Amino acid sequence: MNSTLEFNDSSITVALVGCGGFIGSHLLRAIFERTSWRVFGVDLDSYRIQEHLANPRFEFLSADLADPEVVKRIAQYPVVVNLAAICTPGRYMAESAEVIRSNYDHPRALADACAQSGSWLIHFSTSEIYGKTAANSGALVEDESEIVFGPVAASRWSYATAKLLTERYLAGLDGLHWTVVRPFNFVGPFMDFMPGVDGDGIPRVLANFSTALVRGESLKLVNGGVAKRCFTSVHDAVDFMFCVFASGEKALSQAFNVGNAANEVSIAELAQLMRSVYAAIKGVHENEVSGVEVISGEEYYGKGYDDSLRRMPSVEKAERLVGFKAKIPLKTALEESLTWFAHHYG
């Protein structure tokens, strides 16, 4: 494998699996803007990437990893980024078997093909592999933290179990060049969907709270909104990818947290911040936008819901090995996301 990827080398083609999703669409645009590479993109959805479909540097295939021929085709390219996944907690309970197929069986097939072809597989895992972290847990460290999941009956953990097994598989597979990315609550335009408009079910918290604000409904605080997360702008996430592309061998056989530890808030605090950002966007007083309402996890998501109470990344490894540090403050990221959401759906 080439140790570094030159951004101006037009002979490079990167395969982007899940190029039509939230992260994939931002990464695709950045690749076209910052490099001379070509992209072979695979996804079932293309509505977020319409503007690129006619780009001569882009080949788009509407397909998924369930098809072995598609897997073989993807693995012909020297760099393969796999972003495809079912990754909304609203689906982990009722659809746990499908969640496991999407997050273990499919990436495993792709890993086998990349090991054979010699491609570098950059696989998107999740911060959720750290499991059921307690309210007083400290920063999560890639190669040190111990991991506890809930019981099998708490089917929330179906996703994390599958993602962690995939990570272990990649790490154990002979001959595979791999890098694992563990996103910590990326936010930005195009994240998830608005229920009943371009998707069904319960999206992640940013899209849920944005939907509630636009519709004038209350923001639901699951179990009081005491859980904490470190929200990270998708633009920082894209910058991380370019650090990895440029780092070559330093990123090989490594898993990285990608998050912004300075952006930690409880979900109740996130709701307040989003209310005030939305009021400012609309030019109204905060009292005039939706309020909050407490709901139990089981009532909201169904039986088997469980949660991580704190998810705070150690960011030391990404900085040390590939020179990445997230920069975008939470308020800036929320202003961008909510402005986009209100415009797109409003």
Beta carbon of residue 223, minimum distance to ligand UGA (angstroms, whole number): 7
Decide if 267 contacts 304 (C-beta within 8 A).
Answer: no
Residue 127, interface with ligand UGA (CB under 6 A)? yes
Backbone angles phi, psi at 62, to 5 degrees: -85, 100
Tell me the torsion sign for CA atoms 190, 194, 197, 202.
positive
- The answer to whether 185 contacts ligand UGA (rule: CB under 6 A) is yes
Judged by CB under 6 A, does residue 225 bind ligand UGA? Answer: yes
Rule CB under 6 A: is residue 236 a binding residue for ligand UGA?
no
- Assess 161 for contact with ligand UGA (CB under 6 A): no
159 is catalytic: yes
How many helices and strands (H and E) does the chain possess? 11, 14
Q: State which of residues 221, 255, 312, 338 lies at the interface with ligand UGA (CB under 6 A).
A: 221
Q: How far apart are CA 312 and CA 140, in angstroms?
A: 6
End-to-end Cα separation, the chain, in angstroms = 47
Chain CA centroid to CA 309, Å: 19
Question: Binding ligand UGA by CB under 6 A: which of 52, 229, 235, 275?
Answer: 229
**Paired tokens of 61:** 């295939």
Nearest residue to 306 (alpha-carbon basis) of 127, 135, 156: 156
Q: Which stretch binds ligand UGA (CB under 6 A): 169-177, 184-192, 250-258, 337-345?
A: 184-192
**Which among 159, 278, 301, 305 is annotated as catalytic?**
159
Residues composing the chain: 346
- In terms of CB distance, is 138 or 224 closer to ligand UGA? 224
Among positions 25-84, residues that touch ligand UGA (CB under 6 A) are: none
Query: CA nearest 342: which of 277, 273, 286?
Result: 277
Candidates 47-55, 65-73, 178-186, 327-335 — which segment interacts with ligand UGA by CB under 6 A?
178-186
- Catalytic residue numbers read 159
Q: Which residues make up the interface to ligand UGA (CB under 6 A)? A: 87, 89, 126-128, 159, 183-186, 204-205, 208, 220-222, 225, 227, 229, 267, 307
